Structure 1
Amino acid sequence: MSLFKRIKRSLTGTKQTGDNKSRVMISKNNEIITTFDPQKSPPEISEREVEILKDCWKIVKQDVAKVGIITFVGLFETHPDVHDAFMSFRAVNTSDKEYNAILRAHALRVMGTVDKCIYRLDNREKLRELMTELGIRHKNYSVKIEFIDLIGIQFISSIKPHLETVWTGQHEKAWDHLFMLMCYYMRKGMCSI
């Protein structure tokens, strides 16, 4: 059993499944192609969705490290090519404790970004700045723009178990819209350099 599966199983006791398709990804001859129009308006998030996100985030934050690790383990399992995009993971033997520490640290940074975005929904300009700058940094790290949309799908499947008593289609839509907005500005940043 791979390290990813062992980590996930130890954290959740279950095997994660989910829809791994992204609406802006197209598989063609084993190649991923992204369609992105930086001139298109950013996705919208309603005031009700902002309320849902903030309420849900209060619950998710209680297990934020676990959610972050499960998100990345799931991402690396479903898209192994993404793993190699992380420079900090390339040189580390996957059986090392150091790998787990690097994975946890990165997962917590991403969860911190989600936290900032949720609270910047009241000031969309600050959210735009944060995610555009993050996109520029990721472009400098040679991350493929095709990988940007994948994290939202994995994140949503990772938080569902923590919110199963309240989870509805409205919740899924709100989280999907948040990640669409975050990814929009991140891709825009990646396209700006």
Structure 2
Amino acid sequence: MGTIVEGEGTDQVNGYGGEKEPGGEHGGPLTQEQVLGIKETWAVLAQDPIERGADLFMKIFEDDPDLKKLFYFADEGRELSREDQRMRSHGERVMEAVGAAVDNLGDLSPIVPVLTELGALHYKYGVQPNYFDTVGAALIYTLETNLGDKMTPDVRQGWVQVYGIVGATMKKGMQQAMDQQNMGKTCP
């Protein structure tokens, strides 16, 4: 995977394989203005990754309550609170992963193996590729509600592209895990 920044390198990643993500289509590489906007807006959210992670997961579960069944911290039949320490811890780890993507906007190749492994792990937990749409929409919502007018349309589109690339990379890891599992079933 190369760069997603306009004018850097020759292997430009155009987003989520042409798929539509929450908020719009993925276009070409990020502009320098989008990169700056993403970094500036991330600096705001990174001040409290635990709270922002809680915001994210509360929105995910509001939008698709069925996803709770996938998480160790969402015990069946128990009302989940944003104060649940297990959820807050998981949300913080997700926000750290987002931060890693932001830190590597110029060259995502250092985080591709980690994202691919995360995708394979999520496959083993029963995550379906379409769940990434719910998470993407919840991330954009979390950004918008916490950033207000700092979340300009241009910056928003940049975030959609970054999430699209992260999601696509994780989906590739999921597909690889599925392929390996299927190959194990067919080989003697």
Normalization by structure 1: what TM-score?
A: 0.71
**Counterpart amino acid of 2:111?**
L
Residue in structure 2 matched with residue 73 of structure 1 by the alignment: 58
Identity %: 23
Question: Cα gap change, 1:24/1:47 in structure 2, threshold over 3 Å: closer, same or farther?
Answer: closer
Residue in structure 2 matched with residue 184 of structure 1 by the alignment: 168
* Matched position secondary structure for 2:30: coil
Cα distance in 1 for partners of 2:160, 2:166 equals 10
Residue in structure 1 matched with residue 74 of structure 2 by the alignment: 89
Cα distance in 1 for partners of 2:70, 2:92 equals 18
Shift of 1:66: 1.7
1:62 to 2:41 alignment: no
What are the within-5 Å matches in structure 2 for residues 109-124 of structure 1?
A: 109-124=93-108
Shift of 1:59: 1.0
Cα distance in 1 for partners of 2:152, 2:96 equals 24
Which deviates the most, 57-66 or 170-179?
Answer: 57-66
Question: Cα gap change, 1:171/1:96 in structure 2, threshold over 3 Å: closer, same or farther?
Answer: closer
What are the within-5 Å matches in structure 2 for residues 1-193 of structure 1?
A: 23=20, 44-90=29-75, 93-94=78-79, 100-193=84-177
Shift of 1:92: 7.7
Shift of 1:58: 0.7
Shift of 1:43: 7.1
Shift of 1:53: 1.0
Aligned-residue Cα RMSD (Å) equals 2.6
**Counterpart amino acid of 1:186?**
M
Which deviates the most, 156-165 or 133-142?
Answer: 156-165
Question: Cα gap change, 1:46/1:131 in structure 2, threshold over 3 Å: closer, same or farther?
Answer: farther
Residue in structure 1 matched with residue 6 of structure 2 by the alignment: none
Cα distance in 2 for partners of 1:167, 1:24 equals 17
Question: Cα gap change, 1:114/1:90 in structure 2, threshold over 3 Å: closer, same or farther?
Answer: same
Question: Cα gap change, 1:121/1:45 in structure 2, threshold over 3 Å: closer, same or farther?
Answer: same
Shift of 1:118: 0.7
**CA distances 1:124-182 after superposition (whole Å, capped 9, x unpaired):** 21132221111011112221222122212111111223221322101110111111011
Shift of 1:93: 3.2
**Counterpart amino acid of 1:156?**
I
